[in-house]
Amino acid sequence: MDIELDWSTHRREAQGSDNFQLTWADDDNLYGAWGDGGGFGGANDDGRDSLGFARIEGGWNTYRGYNVWGGKNAENPPQFPGKSWGTICVGGVLYSWIVPDNPDAAGSGDGFRFTDDPAVAWPRDHYRYVHLARSKDHGATWERAPWRWWREDNLIVATFLNHGRDDDGARDEFVYSYFLRPERTDVTQSEFKLNVHKPGALFLARVHRDHIFAGRDAYEWFGGVVKGKPAWGPLASKQPVFENPEGTGWCVSAIHNRALGRYFLATEHGVSERGSLGLYDAPAPWGPWTTVKYWTAAHPFGQTRPGSALEWKDNIFFFSFVPKWWGADGREFTLLFTGAGKGQDNDSLNTVRGRFIMRKPPAPPPPEKTPDGPAGP
């Protein structure tokens, strides 16, 4: 399998705001988080918020975005800062994995108190913890769970595995999430920066769809494949579900393509913010993974873009498939990507239409010849 992108369809919105992993909600709209900008209609310093949530209405070539929570002329004000690369809709409720900008607690464990007062916050550190937020009104207001995953758990930035509309098409009653393994459990953003973590590894957790917000103990962790089936257990038993010695980036995306029956995973490797991205696929959320496309710093994502005249720099660090905009046979898609343009170029929501190119099965071997001619039945 390979992919081909139609750069004549390249579209750019929400200049100055990045991230934008999207989920397909029960109301038929797309929702997702953006960071450090004004969202749709804003700019890097116009309506800027640390974290915002957007609603996108329409089709892949006619869509329009709205700032639901945060950003310029927002429908609702933001309630707290942070960043997110993982949102999902299940049963009409939006859930989002949030990492902090300035953490509000120093130690691991329960008993912390939320405070977004910068006077008492710690230095900016997306790696400090991951916490969950949910919205029962399609992003207008958000509630944060009173529990967290900590860096000391050997876990940092997380994303959800998305399926179809309102998580339709899920393989079972569980919701799956991928967590990055940090290079070290004492790593901080001020020291390590937003760089690739080497060697790269991802962990996989699952939780019943009725208990997503219930707490840490509701989650089970992939512990390897035993007799052909995945083993699930407590946090201490977790094993990597994906590994790459060249690293994983500081964010990841994951989605299921129902028509093709494949799961797709995307993250960086090698060096960050240089278009060094890998796209992988598997028959199940736990693998085994094969490589669909592997861009490098020498040959980055978007190196050539025939048909697009939009300003460009090789600074892409994240992409994901838009769950609503698959083609009927699963082969056509819309790819959403974002980069580190400091308010310019790819620091924005970018979409481009593409399609999968399926490898042809090998031709059968020619029939064996006998002295009297080809062998027959």
Of the listed ranges 120-124, 178-182, 309-313, 331-335, the least confidently predicted one is 120-124
Read off the pLDDT of each residue in 119-140 and give the average, rounded to a whole number: 91
Instruction: Tell me how far CA of residue 100 lies from CA of 105, 112, 119, 123, 227, in angstroms.
Output: 10, 14, 15, 10, 40
Higher pLDDT pick, 117 / 224: 224
Q: Is a pLDDT exceeding 90 seen at residue 298?
A: yes
Mean of per-residue pLDDT scores for the chain: 93
326 within 8 A of 355, measured Cβ to Cβ = no
Please report the sign of the dihedral spanned by the C-alpha atoms of residue 292, residue 295, residue 299, residue 305. Answer: positive
How does residue 359 score in pLDDT terms, banded at 50, 70 and 90?
confident
- Would you place residue 114 in the very low, low, confident or very high pLDDT band (cuts 50, 70, 90)? low
Q: Which residue has the higher pLDDT, 346 or 122?
A: 346
What one-character-per-residue DSSP string does 244-274 give?
ETT-B-S-EEEEEETTTTEEEEEEE-SSTTS
- Beta-sheet pairing, 220-226 with 229-233: antiparallel
The two structure tokens encoding residue 159: 């994303």
160 half-sphere exposure, CB direction, 13 A CA radius: 32
pTM for the model stands at 0.93
- Segment 280-303 shows an average pLDDT of 98
pLDDT of residue 369 exceeding 80, the answer is: no
Lowest mean pLDDT among 36-40, 105-109, 180-184, 284-288: 105-109
Percent of the chain topping pLDDT 70: 91
Identify the weakest region by mean pLDDT among 114-123, 197-206, 248-257, 337-346.
114-123
- Closest among 162, 166, 192 to 178, alpha carbons compared: 162
- Using one digit for the tens of pLDDT, what is the confidence trace for 73-85? 999 999 999 999 9
pLDDT at residue number 366: 56
pLDDT tens, residue by residue, 189-235: 999 999 999 999 999 999 999 999 999 999 999 999 999 999 999 99
DSSP for 57-79, please give it: ES-TTT-EEEEEESSTT-SS---
**pLDDT higher than 90, residue 375:** no
Q: Class assignment of domain 2-361?
A: mainly beta
pLDDT digits (tens, 9 = 90+) for 236-282: 999 999 999 999 999 999 999 999 999 999 999 999 999 999 999 99
Section 141-166 average pLDDT: 97
Q: What is residue 104's predicted lDDT score, i.e. its pLDDT?
A: 85
